[in-house]
Amino acid sequence: MNDTRIRLLRPSPALVVASLALLIALSGTSWAAVALPRGSVGTPQLKAGAVTSPKVRNGSLQAIDLAPAARQLLKGQTGPQGPAGPRGEQGPSGLRGLELVTASSAFDSAREKTVVVSCPPGKRLLGGGGGAWGRAMIWVTERVILTASQPLDDHTWLAAARELDPTDEDWFVRVTAICGSVN
């Protein structure tokens, strides 16, 4: 019997290395595009000077993308100071002598109560308020209503209240005016 076998030759190690080098050289950078996920290479992976002007697409960078020193170059140098302009009018001096003026009615069971408070001479009313309270300074909304809390003029604030149902419980009205000088 005639044995005719085909004998395969094993490649030498030099042939394997040369073929592998040729494959890598022919594939070039396509390996990086296929093997690296999008966005996986950032600033920490780049070497200094790796990104140059020819490698950057025109119009793709903004001033914020540049280093602070480069942004300063884009901004330019500060020019000389111009001449001073004319002095303007003095504005109003604003609020002075702020003072709270408070008054209260008698603490009794009267059905209606009114309290008026006025600002001291030379000061005008800026705001105010009033309220009605019962025992232990508790707001008495269940049985007393505030019927007025308002300015009467530029110097006076009024607060008034009345009982919904007459009782023998004591209550009072307190009013506060906010006064001051405005120039």
**3-state SS string over 13-60?**
HHHHHHHHHHHHHHHCCHHHHHHCCCCCCCHHHCCCCCCCHHHCCCCC
Q: Quick one: pLDDT at residue 169?
A: 81
Report yes or no on 31 lying in a domain: no
CA 94/CA 117 separation, integer angstroms: 24
What's the pTM? Answer: 0.48
Report yes or no on 105 lying in a domain: yes
Report yes or no on 74 lying in a domain: no
Q: Please tell me the total count of domains within the chain.
A: 1
Report yes or no on 169 lying in a domain: yes
Report yes or no on 115 lying in a domain: yes
Report yes or no on 157 lying in a domain: yes
CA 123/CA 159 separation, integer angstroms: 20
Q: Which CATH number does the domain housing residue 118 bear? A: 2.60.40
85-129 tens-digit pLDDT: 999 998 777 888 899 999 999 998 899 999 999 999 999 999 999
Report yes or no on 174 lying in a domain: yes
Task: Look at strands 95-104 and 172-182 and give their pairing.
Answer: antiparallel
CA 118/CA 123 separation, integer angstroms: 10
pLDDT band at 30 (very low <50, low <70, confident <90, very high): low
Largest CA distance in the chain: 139
Sheet with strand 144-151: strands edge to edge: 112-118, 156-163, 144-151
> What is the Cα 174 distance to its own chain's centre?
38
Sheet with strand 172-182: strands edge to edge: 95-104, 172-182, 124-133
Of 142, 144, 148, which is closest to residue 130 (Cα–Cα)?
148
Report yes or no on 125 lying in a domain: yes
Range of the domain at 172: 95-182
Taken in order 11, 16, 22, 24, is the CA torsion positive or negative?
Answer: positive
CA 145/CA 148 separation, integer angstroms: 9
Q: Examine the pLDDT at 1 and tell me if it is beyond 60.
A: no
Lowest average pLDDT, out of 11-15, 24-28, 45-49, 53-57, goes to: 24-28
